[in-house]
Amino acid sequence: MENKIDLLKSMNALQKRDYTLRRHWMLLPLPFLLLFFFISCTRKIQEIPCPVDVPPTFSSISENEAPLDRWWLSLGDANLNSLIATSLSSNLNLQMAWDRLKQARALAKKSGADLLPSLDGSVFVKRESVKNDGNGRVTDSTHSLGIAASYEIDLWGRVQAGKQAAELDLLAVGEELRTAAVSLTGDVAIAWYELLEQRQQNQLLVQQIDINEKYLQLIVSKFQNGQSGATDVLQQRQTLEATRGELIMARGNEKLLEHQLAILLGQTSENFSPPAGGVSVTLPPVPSPGIPAELIEQRPDIRMVHYQVQAADKRVAAALADRFPKVSLSADSESSSGSIRNLFDDWITNLAVNITAPIFDGGKRTAEVDRAQALADEALHKYGQTILTAIKEVEDALWAESRQQKYVESLNDQLALSSLAMEQTKERYINGDMEFLRFLTTILTHQNLQRSRIKAELDLIKYRISLYRALAGGWDMIASGPSPLDKTN
């Protein structure tokens, strides 16, 4: 009971004397108000010039409009649109890119914490019980309350440079996320059209097996009538079995493509059922590539390495600043008493200015500057290489599609001629005017051309997808959420 009464009295005393705590609390950070008069000497974020000579235009120029950021919509394939929507929400590699963005945001926030003073509080309670032979047991309690603050004056901009580097890293990770999304959409589109192409090949092989079976019946009939030799029958049977074997392999490849597409959509093959359908894509006109300078500004992978170069430059500044003296302020206040009611009566406040400077470190800080500079040089060279690769990808896609279009037209002409030749050789073989080997060669040539055309049409679509990916600037995936730099200060 006495302890409860003593506690109530102490709480009342606490309420009456809380103005004392407020008075000391306000006095404690007064030295830190002076810090806002210091201006950091850190360098501003430098704009990195393009490290390579960029041509004024691409070698192939089109007058058509540039592609949409969501380029796959221009293909008009509802199944593809659905697959890509699923992949953007469920692909695990893309989810890991989101996780890296969260990590970078936390690091950017953490790096800015050193620009503000740190304040720590401590509470200490000690209770001693001493046995006295004459008066029994005597209990003595001691209470103490302490508050400590510290702050480093960023005279040379070391802390600010580290904060800016982390913020640039955050921006780079945001562009990495967009790059991953663009790559994912291209991978899904290619996997989908490869699956459709394989389905077409399978249907064609079924048709060719049916045709080869009919030719076998024809040859067997001629053999039974003495108009053909056994070798002709054996050759046609071998051709038929070869086509059947190709169908077995083709159906197996179709399953593998389904598995690949399932992984891109973040699903297991057992739970994934691809949409039905065939290739029915009419490619829109070739988009304009614009100019290389626009490509550098819009591609997220180029923007990513650009931010990485700037971040590396800030880390060089931080390493240089680390070689200079550090000035920090510290203050602490402490009050102790044997009773809680007297705890806020007497305070002891200490203020200190600390200056530390490196005298000898065995060359560690100099080596760190050299390392940071080498990393910055590497980032700059990576920036240039990324630009060169991007320009090459656009040039390759433009050139490849133009050549592929002509190749498809050539295959169509060859198929038309091959179809006429096959009909004529068939008639001549039936009439006995041509040997079977020449007729068989014509059949195989025509069937191979049919398969080549299907593959060539797929390659044409894939080259267009490559062009879209090379020109894609991504889209604002982070617009619906917080900005990459939100809450970093």
For range 286-307, the mean pLDDT? 86
Query: For residues 248 and 50, which has the higher predicted lDDT (pLDDT)?
Result: 248
**Gap between the Cα atoms of 481 and 222, Å rounded:** 75
pLDDT for the residue 6:
44
For range 461-467, the mean pLDDT? 93
Helices 158-224 and 92-111: angle between axes, nearest 10 degrees: 170
pLDDT for the residue 474:
74
The count of C-alpha atoms lying within 13 angstroms of the C-alpha of 461, restricted to the half-sphere facing its C-beta, is: 27
Asked if 158 contacts 473 with a C-beta cutoff of 8 angstroms, the reply is: no
Query: Taking all residues of the chain, what is their mean pLDDT, rounded to a whole number?
Result: 81
CA 164 to chain centre: 22
**Gap between the Cα atoms of 329 and 153, Å rounded:** 8
Question: What is the token pair recorded at 321?
Answer: 């600043």
- The residue type at 479: A
CA nearest to 312, candidates 168, 175, 155, 101: 168
Instruction: Give the predicted TM-score (pTM) of the model.
Output: 0.79
pLDDT for the residue 465:
94
pLDDT for the residue 5:
41
Architecture per CATH, 42-114+155-323+365-471: Up-down Bundle (1.20)
The alpha carbon torsion through 479, 484, 488, 489 (nearest 10 deg) reads -60
The answer to whether residue 23 scores a pLDDT higher than 60 is no
Contacts of 240 (CB under 8 A, 6+ apart): 209, 212, 213, 216
For range 279-289, the mean pLDDT? 80
Asked if 80 contacts 189 with a C-beta cutoff of 8 angstroms, the reply is: yes
The answer to whether residue 331 scores a pLDDT higher than 90 is no
Tell me the pairing of strands 118-132 and 136-153.
Answer: antiparallel
The answer to whether residue 143 scores a pLDDT higher than 80 is no
Query: For the sheet containing 348-356, what is the strand order?
Result: 118-132, 136-153, 326-337, 348-356
Question: What is the token pair recorded at 192?
Answer: 């989908």
CA nearest to 173, candidates 86, 106, 112: 106
* Domain assignments of the chain as residue spans, ordered by start: 42-114+155-323+365-471
The answer to whether residue 63 scores a pLDDT higher than 70 is no
**Distance (Å) of CA 84 to CA 186, 190, 372:** 9, 11, 40
- The residue type at 292: P
Angle ∠(375,294,463) on CA atoms, nearest 5: 95
Which residue, chain included where needed, has tokens 């044997």?
338
Asked if 159 contacts 115 with a C-beta cutoff of 8 angstroms, the reply is: yes
**Gap between the Cα atoms of 272 and 258, Å rounded:** 8
